[in-house]
């Protein structure tokens, strides 16, 4: 090698050392050790792995696996950061389930490796979800759960091209896992934050309906019965497919109708003698106070809640006609399929709907209008909606 070559190599080495020292910062070397020994035992390994926080603590403990510093990991991975993160994940995976002598150190290790993976490949969700579950296994409300998930959510926004871009199809899981953890194991204050995270999850177009139903149910119990209505409307406006949009708006109407029915029942009980309310205003007067207070500043919200609502005091019913028509159509379609199934299985047509009772199937909800029931037209063999004065929903 020429003298120039040696000089360039020496300079590169010196620059690398300086860079490492600057990047890693002081490592808290034991003062009692001779400097060369301390340098060999502590400083030198620390340049290879371990940033300033948790990873250093983890590294200090023997018998633990390597926890690479996020920064050093990314710097050394060069242009293949995503694949390096995947490779790290494959090495971490078999060790996640092992029991550790010091669980808190296992928690720190999980946090350190997950952070490195998240930073190198911001869109990989599985490692983060797994990390959260394994941290939960160590301690139900492990403080690192929130840090790991929040970092992943922050990193999720960092993707190529510096432009608004779609989230991962499965990224609703991050706020959902955090929200559920806070809701199930958190303090009352943390449960309030849980709602915010769960709402964020539910607002994502790919989030399963079950999450919305869950939030709607427990928020209704907490005195916010219109949570489900809002979430479904939000989702409807995100949907590009008109069929999906219609279905989501129908779900929103269902949630609104459920709340209105509860309020109508409350208004009925308040009257002496009990009587079904005859105006929508009477029904809305039973809404929880926080909801009614929002109507003072948002009168259009109140109008939206009452939109298209019809009251039927004679049958103790309240309906949204467009929803009723659609539910009736869906119910009839379900019954038609069941009748066809019955015919194919038993080799004869059903004589009445009672025949279906002995037939294993998903139960069909009763028709939406009070004072009606499903019937079978003997002439055509087609299901239909028939008046039913004995409908228990019509009586108090």
Partner 1 sequence: MKGPVLVVAGNTYREVGRDRMLHLLGALVVGFVLFSWVLGWLNPEEADQVRHLVDFGLAGVNLFGLLMAALLGSSLLRREMERRTLYTVLCREVTRTEFVLGKYLGLVGVFATGLALVAVLMVLYFAIFGAAPGWPLVAAIYGNLLEIAVLTAASVLLGSFTTPALSAIGTVALWLVGHNTETLLEYLQMTGKEALEIPFQTLYYAFPNLSDFNYRLAASFELPVPPSVLAFATVYAVLWVGLFLGAASLFFRRRELP
Which residues contribute to the site for partner 1 (CB under 8 A)? Answer: 1-2, 4-5, 8-9, 12, 22-23, 71, 74-76, 78-84, 86-87, 89-90, 93, 121, 123-124, 126, 159-161, 163, 165-166, 168, 170
Nearer to partner 1, 80 or 184 (CB): 80
Could you tell me the smallest distance in angstroms from the CB atom of residue 40 to partner 1? 25
Two structure tokens written together for 254:
């269902």
Compare residues 162 and 296 and give the one whose CB is closer to partner 1: 162
* Cα–Cα distance for residue pair 355/227, rounded to 1 Å: 40
* Sign of the Cα pseudo-torsion (193, 194, 199, 204, in order): positive
Considering the complex, state which of residue 24 and residue 315 has its C-beta at the smaller distance from partner 1.
24
89, 91, 96, 101: CA torsion to nearest 10:
-140
Q: Which is nearer to partner 1, 96 or 266 (CB)?
A: 96
Smallest distance from partner 1 to CB 42, Å: 21
Closest separation between CB of residue 18 and partner 1, Å?
9
Which residues face 384 on adjacent strands?
Answer: 375
With a CB cutoff of 8 Å and minimum separation 6, the contacts of 141 are: 181, 182, 185, 186, 190
- CB of 73 vs partner 1, minimal distance in Å: 10
User: Among 69, 99, 174, which Cα is nearest to 131's?
Assistant: 174
Spatial distance between the Cα atoms of 297 and 377, rounded to a whole number of angstroms = 52
- Cβ-based nearer residue to partner 1, 161 or 358: 161
Least CB distance from residue 308 to partner 1, whole Å? 39
Tell me the β-bridge partners of 217: none
Q: Smaller CB distance to partner 1: residue 123 or 393?
A: 123
Q: State in angstroms the smallest separation of the CB of 84 from partner 1.
A: 8
Instruction: Please choose, from the candidates 226, 234, 168, the residue with its C-alpha nearest in 3D space to the C-alpha of residue 202.
Output: 234
């Amino acid at each position: 090698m020429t003298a120039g070559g040696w000089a360039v190599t020496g300079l590169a080495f010196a620059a690398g050392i300086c860079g490492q020292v600057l990047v890693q910062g002081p490592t808290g070397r034991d003062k009692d050790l001779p400097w060369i020994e301390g340098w060999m035992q502590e400083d030198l390994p620390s340049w290879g792995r371990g940033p300033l926080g948790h990873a250093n603590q983890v590294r200090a403990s023997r018998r633990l696996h390597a926890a690479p510093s996020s920064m050093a990991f990314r710097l050394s991975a060069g242009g293949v950061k995503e694949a390096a993160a995947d490779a790290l994940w494959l090495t971490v995976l078999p060790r996640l389930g092992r029991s550790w002598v010091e669980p808190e150190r296992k928690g720190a290790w999980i946090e350190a490796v997950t952070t490195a993976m998240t930073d190198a490949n911001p869109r990989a969700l599985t490692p983060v979800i797994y990390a959260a579950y394994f941290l939960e296994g160590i301690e139900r409300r492990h403080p690192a759960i929130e840090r790991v998930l929040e970092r992943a959510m922050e990193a999720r926004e960092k993707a190529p091209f510096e432009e608004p871009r779609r989230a991962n199809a499965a990224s609703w899981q991050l706020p959902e896992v955090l929200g559920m953890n806070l809701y199930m194991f958190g303090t009352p204050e943390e449960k309030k934050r849980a709602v915010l995270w769960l709402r964020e999850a539910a607002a994502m177009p790919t989030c399963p309906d079950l999450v919305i139903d869950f939030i709607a149910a427990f928020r209704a119990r907490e005195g916010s019965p219109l949570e489900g209505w809002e979430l479904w409307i939000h989702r409807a406006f995100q949907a590009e497919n008109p069929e999906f949009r219609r279905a989501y708006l129908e779900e929103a109407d269902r949630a609104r109708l459920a709340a209105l029915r509860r309020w109508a029942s409350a208004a009925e009980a308040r009257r002496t003698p009990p009587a079904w309310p005859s105006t929508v205003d009477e029904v809305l007067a039973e809404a929880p106070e926080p909801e009614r207070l929002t109507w003072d500043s948002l009168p259009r919200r109140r109008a939206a809640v009452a939109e298209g609502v019809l009251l039927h005091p004679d049958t103790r019913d309240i309906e949204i006609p467009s929803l009723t028509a659609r539910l009736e159509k869906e119910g009839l379609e379900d019954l038609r399929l069941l009748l066809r199934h019955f015919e194919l299985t038993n080799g004869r047509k059903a004589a009445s709907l009672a025949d279906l009772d002995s037939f294993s199937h998903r139960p069909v909800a009763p028709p939406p209008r009070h004072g009606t029931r499903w019937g079978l037209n003997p002439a055509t063999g087609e299901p239909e909606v028939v008046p039913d004065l004995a409908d228990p929903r019509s009586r108090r």
